[in-house]
Amino acid sequence: MEGLNLISTFAEFKEDKNIDRPTMMSILEDVFRSQLIKMYGSADNFDIIINIDKGDFEIWRNRDIVESVEDPNTQISLSDVSKIDDSYEIGEQYVEEFKLNSFGRRGILNLRQNLTSRIMDIEKANLYNAYKERVGDVIVGEVYQVWKKEVLVNDEEGKELILPKSEQIPSDFFRKGDTVKAIVKSVEMVNNNPVIILSRTDNKFLERLFEQEVPEIFDGLITIKKVVRMPGERAKVAVESYDERIDPVGACVGVKGSRIHGIVRELRNENIDVINWTSNTQLLVQRALNPAKISSVKVNEQDKTVFVYLKSSEVQFAIGKKGSNIDLAEKLIGMKIEVFRELEEDEEDVLLTEFTDEIEQWIIDELTKIGCDTAKSVLALSVAEICRRADLDEETVKEVQKILQSEFEE
């Protein structure tokens, strides 16, 4: 039959889009039948034969032979049939091949457009369903395009995935052609188009990297209880072993850090603390605030608050750079941590409550919340650190430190 251009259209889609044979045959028949209905009002008397393997199709039209035609679509006159074959009689059925050019130029164009649209819809649905099942999985793709707010990534089949700027590690830098590893965070249909969002900042990404690098986690001998992150800066991973013979921390770190080094490199040198999980809150707090050495811990379960007491020299370690250590520790245990500085035996210091005449009470309250309940504890921290932790403006903090410093200069 004529129409190789139309045939090549669906043959090309079948090859490129990987659509199975029954689905392709169903689409083609439906597209042809819809066009016939549009032309004649009904397509019940048409037989459509599709041959996917040969890249061909046939359409046959069945009409009853009558003396006088009332419906040209389902009937044909004996006089017209006799011009072709005089062996037919009234009451018999006449079958003839319906040529592609019978659709007309506009009809053929509609066929091609409808076929393309239907197959594209199926491709979108297949992509959506395939990635919906892969949410939480790590994929490796190639950077195809880099924009200001996102990076377009192609998977191994050339499907387009999106890595938004908000899901990139701050120090990430990509160029076209780079290989990128990320987790499938979400899959949504937006305006009938599947949108697959990748992430490198999600906690699950770090968890999956550990599963890939540590066989004991993959095999279920070690469980990751919780992961908290400041992407690109610091992370804490609490692990637990179901086998007493296996040290979960040692297994995750590996000999001389062999296992964790690969993960750290992938996360742009993110500092990862691996700790032993425990249901004992006091012990978990001590491990979570490592490397700070805690003197004592008091837990208020009702208020979900933990009071940590430590020496002056340990405060900076407990808080960490930009407050990262204590922030992550709070997320890990799910409770608020308040740090209190212990005075040395011969150390002179003054409680902030002694400065209520010079410093407003609400400022003292904010400083106390971050463990700065004495003058020297406030002076021991930088202005930037206090501003971030206590949510105070720089001018206020400088004024407070000036007032406190004058106490010791006198």
User: Quick one: pLDDT at residue 57?
Assistant: 79
Give the CA distances from residue 292 to residues 103, 135, 250, 374, in Å, rounded to whole numbers and listed in that order: 81, 37, 20, 19
Fold of 134-200: OB fold (Dihydrolipoamide Acetyltransferase, E2P) (2.40.50)
- Per-residue pLDDT band for 151 (boundaries 50, 70, 90) equals very high
Fold of 4-131: N Utilization Substance Protein A; Chain:P; domain 4 (3.30.1480)
Q: Which of 12-16, 59-63, 243-247, 402-406 has the lowest mean pLDDT?
A: 12-16
Q: How do residues 15-41 score in pLDDT, each as one tens digit? A: 555 667 777 778 888 888 998 998 988
Q: How many CB atoms lie within 10 A of CB 259?
A: 21
Cβ atoms 207, 172 nearer than 8 A: no
* Count of helices and strands (H, E) across the chain: 15, 15
Out of 3.30.365.10, 3.30.300.20, 3.40.50.2000, 3.40.50.720, select the CATH number for domain 202-277.
3.30.300.20
Q: How do residues 188-219 score in pLDDT, each as one tens digit? A: 998 889 999 999 999 999 999 999 999 999 99
Residue ranges of the domains in the chain? 4-131, 134-200, 202-277
183 pLDDT exceeds 60? yes
Q: Which of 137-151, 241-255, 341-355 has the lowest mean pLDDT?
A: 341-355
Q: Which of 138-147, 227-236, 368-377 has the lowest mean pLDDT?
A: 368-377
Measured distance CA(236)–CA(292) in Å, rounded: 15
152 pLDDT exceeds 70? yes
Instruction: Read off the DSSP letter of residue 322.
Output: G
Q: How do residues 363-383 score in pLDDT, each as one tens digit? A: 888 888 777 778 888 887 788
4 pLDDT exceeds 70? no
| Among 128, 216, 68, CA closest to 120 | 128
| Among 6, 1, 2, CA closest to 113 | 6
Six token digits for residue 288: 């979570």
